[in-house]
Structure 1
């Protein structure tokens, strides 16, 4: 796959303007975010990463009474839409004020890139923690059309991390055990595609309106 990274978006770029416009009218509809269904990616093809699994990446207040759990695939275009167009509003309204505990789970379904990108993000988590994990995850979605070894490395370097180490983690699927455990957790909870959002134990549509309503009602 093409590993060349797309240029960064400027403040007046069409994509950012589109995002702001969507958020300004209340977010996206459920039909816009119809997810990527499972089945295309049943497992990884890498050398695999054994050993201990990494903890769940968490944002917000870890002790908050309301937990929002999201199952994602970095190669899923609907997850890209969710993270770039919906999550920023949730972050400003609920995550940053500490009103919720926000959890990320990997649920690779699209193709082998799903697994490699997840391992790249987990390599960042392992080295720097959850905050940088979420920053790197967002960067992956911003560069979804060019996911590949060069992109994994260059994005890590932009965060002053060892790009070569992150690239190798992706290529070798060094965190396969964590990603596989995440996917099994999703299956156990009835997840079939991405993005799947839980507010507590209840699944909700991945829109600002639906998630906000569920949080306020929790």
Structure 2
């Protein structure tokens, strides 16, 4: 199914955002692996990356901006992952959008419309707003308010959310993740091609990383 910008705005205008039910908790399961060469091919919009290209471990995260488990990972695990592994050159981290619903598409589009060097700041603010409940209630007015906090005018906000090429690219990447890598929910991580689902703790993630060093 192909989304249109009109469908996106119509759906978001009357939609109430429910927090915390999208995505998967961390589950004990046998790890699957995917073709690392295919996984490393950038998304249609280009990948958002932190860390050294020479890092021995690469983590690809697929996340939805409306996923409560993703927001939890961002708050609890990611700061430690960044300080212990990304900033020390041990991990290269790639973030890819996997929108689970129309609000997530809209939030992903806003993040992509921000200046490239502000992308991760924008994602962090969105997850903070999600955790605080600021995006609850009717979604579009809440998102409009958020957009102004991160530097959008009403004109640039509307221009971003009516960018059909951007919407198509996000949908194409989600389809690729589902069909080629078996992503079904968020957050899903690939650690050197090994698939792990759920909001992993720093202890769980650190153990996997250390085994691959």
TM-score class normalised by the smaller sequence: 0.5 to 0.7
Q: Find the residue that maps to 2:77 and give its secondary structure.
A: helix
**Is 1:197 the equivalent of 2:189?**
yes
Residue 185 of structure 1 is matched in structure 2 by 176
Aligned length: 169
CA contact (8 A) 2:64 2:70 kept: yes
TM-score (structure 2 length as normaliser)? 0.68
Residue 95 of structure 1 is matched in structure 2 by 86
Q: In 2, Cα distance between the equivalents of 1:162 and 1:97?
A: 37
Deviations 1:90-109 (A, max 9, x none): 11111222321101111122
Q: Which has the higher contact order (CA 8 A, sep 6+)?
A: 2
The 3 A distance-change label for structure 1 pair 104 and 166 is farther
Shift in Å at residue 136 of structure 1?
A: 0.3
Q: Which runs of 5+ in 1 are unaligned?
A: 3-30, 35-51
Q: Mean Cα displacement is larger for which, 52-61 or 80-89?
A: 52-61
**Is 1:117 the equivalent of 2:107?**
yes
| Partner of residue 81 from structure 1, selected from 42, 55, 72 | 72
Q: Mean Cα displacement is larger for which, 86-95 or 197-206?
A: 197-206
Shift in Å at residue 185 of structure 1?
A: 2.8
CA contact (8 A) 1:155 1:163 kept: no
Q: Find the residue that maps to 1:58 and give its secondary structure.
A: strand
Shift in Å at residue 172 of structure 1?
A: 5.0
CA contact (8 A) 2:64 2:99 kept: yes
Shift in Å at residue 59 of structure 1?
A: 0.8
Residue 210 of structure 2 is matched in structure 1 by 216
The 3 A distance-change label for structure 1 pair 95 and 156 is farther
Q: Any residues of structure 2 matched to 1:33-48 within 5 Å, and which?
A: 33=26
Residue 4 of structure 2 is matched in structure 1 by none
Shift in Å at residue 166 of structure 1?
A: 3.5
Q: In 1, Cα distance between the equivalents of 2:72 and 2:55?
A: 26
TM-score (structure 1 length as normaliser)? 0.67
Q: In 2, Cα distance between the equivalents of 1:65 and 1:78?
A: 27
Q: In 2, Cα distance between the equivalents of 1:155 and 1:55?
A: 24
Q: In 2, Cα distance between the equivalents of 1:184 and 1:210?
A: 28
